[in-house]
A = this chain, B = another copy of it.
C-alpha cells in the first residue's frame, strides 16, 4: 500500500525547492520570528535558500494566497497584519468548522491516531516545561492541524491550515497577557474525549477552547505596539 505511482500534486513534497522556501518562511512566521509588517525581499530570501527569484516569488505567492503574506504591487511582500475585523472572522470560522472536524476525527479514530495525539501532547508539555515559547506556539497550531488530518477531510484541512496560520499572527498581535498561546490542558481534554469517542464532549471542549483563546485577545482598533501610528496615518 505504500506504493505511490503518482504522488498527488498537493502532497507535502519536502524535496521540492519551492516547498522548502514556503515552509521555512511559514515556520518563521508561525514561530513569531518574523513580525507582521516585515518586508520579505525576494533577493534576500533567495540568498538564504540559494534559490533564484523565480522560486522565491512562487513561494511568496502561495503564502499570499494563504493569507499570511501581503503582496503590494511594485512594493514587495510583507508579513500580513490582520485587522481586528479579520481576527473576529477567523475565529468565527474556526468555531464553525473545528467542532465538525473533531466529529469526523472521532469517526476515524484508531489506536495509531491516539498514539500520535498523545505523542504530540507530550511534545507540547515538554516545550512548555522548558519555556520554549516558539516551539509552544508552533505546536499549539499543529495540534489543531493534526486533528484535521485525522478527520480525513482534505477540504476542511486546507481551510483550517489557513485559519491556523492567520490565528498565529492574530495571537501575536492582540493577546492581552503573555499567557501561553494555547492551553495544553485543553488539548489534553480534547484528546481524552476523542479517545472515548464522546462527540458531544469533544465538540463542546473544542468550542470552549476556541472561545477561551479569543477571549484572551484584545480586539480594539489600535493594533498592538507602536504600529498603530502607521495605521492612523496610512488609513
**Interface residues of A, Cβ cutoff 8 Å to B:** 5-6, 9-10, 58, 61-62, 64-65, 67, 70-73, 86, 89-90, 92-93, 96-97, 100, 153-156, 158-159, 163, 234
Let me know if B64 and A6 touch, CB within 8 A.
no
Report the separation of the CA atoms of residues A201 and B208 in the bound assembly, to the nearest whole angstrom.
Answer: 28
Residues of the B chain whose Cβ atoms lie less than 8 Å from the Cβ of A62: 61, 65
Let me know if A72 and B155 touch, CB within 8 A.
no
Residues of the B chain whose Cβ atoms lie less than 8 Å from the Cβ of A155: 86, 89-90, 92-93, 163
Copies in the complex: 2
Report the separation of the CA atoms of residues A44 and B233 in the bound assembly, to the nearest whole angstrom.
Answer: 46
The smallest beta-carbon distance between A148 and chain B, in angstroms, is: 12
Let me know if B154 and A89 touch, CB within 8 A.
yes
Let me know if A9 and B58 touch, CB within 8 A.
no
